Structure 1
Amino acid sequence: MTKKLAVPLLTALLVALLMAGCGGAAQVSGGAAGPSGAPKPGGTLVLGENGQEPPCLDPHGNASSDGPVATVPVSDSLVWFDADGTIQPWLADAWEISDDGLTYTFKLRQGVKFHDGAVWNAEALKANFEHMKDPATKSPLAAAYIAPYEDAEVVDEHTLKVRLSSPYAPFLDILAQGYLGMISPKQIKEAPETICEHPIGSGPFVFEKWTKGQSITYHRNPDYNWGPKSAKHTGPAYLEKLEIRFLAEDATRYNALAAGEVDAIDFTPPQNVEDVKTNPDLGFLTAIRPGHPMSFWLNTSRPPFDDVKVRQALLAAVDRDSIIQGVSFGQYQVAQGFVTSSTPGYAKGLAGTIAHDPAAAARLLDEAGWTGRDKDGIRLKDGRRLTAYFPIAANFPAQRMQIAVQTQAAARKIGLDIQIQTPPEQELTDRSTKGDYDLTSGLWATNTADVLWIQYSSKNITTAQRRGQNVARLSDTRLDDLLERARRATGQAERTELYNQAQTRLLELAPAIPFYDDPRPVAYHNRVRDLAFTPAYPSPYFYDTWLDE
């Protein structure tokens, strides 16, 4: 496990990051030759995807980090988050925001139809908002993102007035993400139970078949003529067909590319990146996903990590630079805080604040009262050992396991015993819900600094009534206040300052060990042209893509 009409959070900062080749920018490198002529329609593109197959293809019910790659071909979004950070029209032609930030009036694009013939209009948009928020959708993402949505009023066939319960600055930004793509209102109303298995959208590709554990196939929508205005062409997609093939093993995925069995691979293994970059027959596309870096969260609601000094000690004990340099073959950027460097609102002035300092870690544990030692060198306090439990899934990614083992070794050197456990899947789920763990891992990709509210607001701690994403179970009044004020702020300067203060506060609270800013490296044969990312959430986007056979 990111106003005015077209001004996003920290546009200037995002542009600078894009120009620098980091962050949400799509960096292209490698030896791919130039196009041999004009784009050519036809052909089938096969993408080798990693093993994180989404359990559901309803964009609103999807929480998989790779979910958009499977749903974006089918479903368009209300607005487009452009590469320069601005919000551009897409299925919405224009919009107005009330001075108090509580009302958004959308003027919708005309002439759009869903794959089942349903018409795109104000009723369709309202149906999608209601579907996102409906508890029956079991939405872990969309519902959280539009939590301030209160209701909507159809003004006329192509105008919808949306009311929020409180000002919410990132509203347009998150509406650009694939997780909030539009689904046929007819399917929503008549057969919502079919959306997970067979989504019906308005996108450039029509869902064809899902062979679970193997692949998803799509074919071109011949009637498509409403792509984002930043696209390189109009009309239908060039590709006749698209296949996403799930290849979990890194070696298998890379070997399939090398053998020509697939045209492109997502999440290029870090050990193969340099080979790809120097291969004249391959191209390379990469971006750092905005949001929260890959981290190990610490459960602050129970011992030992309810003590901030113990959390700070573990953070200081772990040599993050050395670990990430090793496991990523030098390809990953070490996280500098609690949002990635590509996130609008990233406090770049805090870079370098987290230091590897085992001596300081030892002092902090002394100050916390863990001054005794048992025969194994583990610290003691009032007769108790300093122990933390880290339950993980049996299929825990190998790279994260390496990070876990090295974190365990660093902790042991300062007298903290981290016990890595692999309980059965149901037990793991139950323990996660109950908060029965001391460490857990993950990341959260989104295009706004509001990810901090999602991950650390006390409102997002899981309860019997609601599944929240604050897995650190952090509850800090000062932080809560900063995050609430930031998401309500209508001025960019005020919002930026509040997010800076929130990131500073999190460095003090140390609710997690941030390891790396998660990249999205894609390798492809040079016959693949105009492959790109959706800037709102870096994921391969195939509308302009064509094959130069």
Structure 2
Amino acid sequence: MTKTPLAALALALLLAGCGSAAGTSGGTNDDPGTPKSGGTLILGENGQEPPCLDPHGNASSDGPVTTVPVADSLVWFDADGTIQPWLAESWEVSDDGLTYTFKLRKGVRFHDGAAWNAEALKTNFEHMRDPATKSPLAASYIAPYKDAKVLDEYTLQVRLRSPYRPFLDILAQGYLGMISPKQIKEAPESICTHPIGSGPFIFEKWTKGQSITYRKNPDYNWGPKSAKHTGPAYLDRLEIRFLAEDGTRYNALASGEVHAIDFTPPQNVEDVKANPGLGFLTAIRPGHPMSFWLNTSRPPFDDVRVRRALLAAVDREAIIKGISFGQYQVAQGFVTTSTPGYAQGLSGSIKHDETLANKLLDEAGWTARDKDGIRLKNGKRLTAYFPIAANFPAQRMQIAVQTQAAARKIGLDIQIQTPPEQELTDRSIKGDYDLSSGLWATNTADVLWIQYSSKNITTPERRGQNVARLKDAQLDELLEQARAAKDPTELYNKAQARLLELVPAIPFYDDPRPVAYQKKVRDLAFTPAYPSPYFYDTWLDE
């Protein structure tokens, strides 16, 4: 990675808020005040409650919020994009990029008294890739991991199957936080409901559907170097409340029931900014934008002309401006603009052009139309099936309905379906769909390999993330080379340009992480590796 995209990431993450350049919350005046210990901070979280609190088995966007208080990471991804020590004091990488030798921090203890050492790190790596962990994230991120060897109590040598440039970057994410080796070995089934880490807060209670509470770790003295203080956290307690309804979450903040809310509803952002008693902090999450993936393995989207036609038919700018009250940034490609490696020169490449859409469908042979205006070829209607969950987010449903309307204008019938949950899962595994929805937030452009490498198409043996089921030899080669390159910038630029030709998805918006808070909340910040509220330096001025 070059310094330029990393610097862009730092600016996107840390200057996007209304707080200071460090991404922290300000006070009601310019004097930040002297930090005070004590108090319970209550955060209103959205309804994406994780089914499991094991950081290695968690894929929820709420995952880092619920696990980072408990589990420290091996390294820290700093605001300027550099990798800083944390539980690892230092590391060396072999010239061929296959061997990482980690020197670990001494004196760290997990909440159950287990020691942090080389054996503990090795145990965590093995847990991440263990099929029993059912990891949708960690296992994908450390897929190149081969094995590890304990050289001495605080030195671990890790071998990779192939060079993997983003290895240290992803190790900074909360999804790969460290769990007690004792718990992993003796009671792995308990990690989902009661994770034991080494972090500044100790897990206390999970009332499912309602809240998760933590208490201060009084022995904590090993925060990241970029932290504003050393020693234990200032807060005595931390409570995460799950408030699924946007209106309920905002009203809880406005009434003082909670101190802060995550994923501030876009319709309330301007009210927050206009309220002198509230602060606002936001960041664009790096990785893949929120998109509708197109199943390229079967008709009608096995024809690239049909995929290009749908992309051209959809007025993404108008849709996203409407559903987000002007708060969301329209995606420019297949990684967000905050992602290290984003190809800036390709911005503006996607155009809304209904005339072009119709021309492409004519070229693809869909020239006739039935009485409803749907295109026909060889007597078959141009139809695409979009199965979604019953609890599909309201904003995405609005996008789906407007996409459906745009498609119908050019003669493509998108049928939105809501099958039972098990059927939806089965169809997803089998590839029995034409459109699918989602995003993937991560701090490297390697998200393109995760989403579009042919190696990541789901098979009976492995659940992959290439839901577009894209197979393209040229793209595969570019992404494999980028994973091993010392400077992958040009390769990722070419990969993003190739994806604009292939159109495996309709990218809609770069996903933001908007947090609103009462001004009495001081030094609330995001973790730069994955924008998520981080509470180690946070204190309450009350």
Give the TM bin, normalised by the shorter chain: over 0.9
> Of 10, 25, 28, which aligns to 2:2?
10
Distance in structure 1 (CA, Å) of the matches to 2:83 and 2:62: 23
Partner in structure 2 of residue 246 of structure 1: 242
| Letter in structure 1 aligned against 2:492 | Y
Distance in structure 1 (CA, Å) of the matches to 2:302 and 2:115: 53
> Of 470, 490, 500, which aligns to 1:497?
490
Q: How many residues align?
A: 536
Question: Which residues in structure 2 correspond to 1:325-404 (within 5 Å)?
Answer: 325-404=321-400
The 8 Å contact of residues 80 and 88 in structure 1, kept in 2 or not, is answered as: yes
Q: 1:222 to 1:306 in 2, by over 3 A?
A: same
Offset from partner CA, 1:63-92 (integer Å, 9 cap, x none): 112111000000000000001100000000
Give the Å deviation of 1:26: 5.1
> Of 524, 531, 538, which aligns to 2:524?
531
The 8 Å contact of residues 43 and 258 in structure 2, kept in 1 or not, is answered as: yes
Partner in structure 2 of residue 303 of structure 1: 299
Structure 2 residue matching 1:543: 3-state secondary structure: coil
Offset from partner CA, 1:313-339 (integer Å, 9 cap, x none): 000000000000000000000000000
Partner in structure 2 of residue 33 of structure 1: 28
Structure 1 residue matching 2:516: 3-state secondary structure: strand
- Runs of 4+ residues over 3 Å off in structure 1: 16-19, 23-26, 29-32
| Letter in structure 2 aligned against 1:434 | K
The 8 Å contact of residues 32 and 525 in structure 1, kept in 2 or not, is answered as: no
Partner in structure 1 of residue 61 of structure 2: 65
> Of 48, 57, 75, which aligns to 2:71?
75
Give the Å deviation of 1:27: 1.7
TM-score (norm 1): 0.97
Offset from partner CA, 1:8-36 (integer Å, 9 cap, x none): x23322314534xx356552259841356
Structure 1, gaps ≥5 residues long: 1-8
Partner in structure 1 of residue 501 of structure 2: 508
Partner in structure 2 of residue 208 of structure 1: 204
Partner in structure 1 of residue 22 of structure 2: none
Q: Is 1:124 aligned with 2:116?
A: no
Question: Which residues in structure 2 correspond to 1:31-110 (within 5 Å)?
Answer: 32-34=27-29, 35=31, 37-110=33-106
Question: Which residues in structure 2 correspond to 1:310-325 (within 5 Å)?
Answer: 310-325=306-321
The 8 Å contact of residues 47 and 245 in structure 1, kept in 2 or not, is answered as: yes
The 8 Å contact of residues 346 and 500 in structure 1, kept in 2 or not, is answered as: yes
| Letter in structure 1 aligned against 2:499 | L
Give the Å deviation of 1:120: 0.2
| Letter in structure 1 aligned against 2:521 | V
Distance in structure 2 (CA, Å) of the matches to 1:11 and 1:124: 33
Distance in structure 2 (CA, Å) of the matches to 1:529 and 1:462: 45
Q: 1:267 to 1:316 in 2, by over 3 A?
A: same
Distance in structure 1 (CA, Å) of the matches to 2:475 and 2:398: 32
Distance in structure 2 (CA, Å) of the matches to 1:16 and 1:475: 31
> Of 473, 477, 482, which aligns to 1:486?
482
Distance in structure 2 (CA, Å) of the matches to 1:162 and 1:132: 14
Q: Is 1:461 aligned with 2:453?
A: no
Partner in structure 1 of residue 193 of structure 2: 197
TM-score (norm 2): 0.98
Q: Is 1:447 aligned with 2:443?
A: yes
Partner in structure 2 of residue 286 of structure 1: 282
Partner in structure 2 of residue 521 of structure 1: 514
Distance in structure 1 (CA, Å) of the matches to 2:57 and 2:8: 34
| Letter in structure 2 aligned against 1:282 | L
| Letter in structure 2 aligned against 1:11 | K
Distance in structure 2 (CA, Å) of the matches to 1:168 and 1:314: 35
The 8 Å contact of residues 9 and 339 in structure 2, kept in 1 or not, is answered as: no
Distance in structure 1 (CA, Å) of the matches to 2:266 and 2:75: 33
Distance in structure 1 (CA, Å) of the matches to 2:15 and 2:123: 33
Structure 2, gaps ≥5 residues long: 20-24
Distance in structure 1 (CA, Å) of the matches to 2:2 and 2:47: 34
Q: 1:26 to 1:228 in 2, by over 3 A?
A: farther
| Letter in structure 2 aligned against 1:248 | A
- Percent identity between the aligned chains? 83
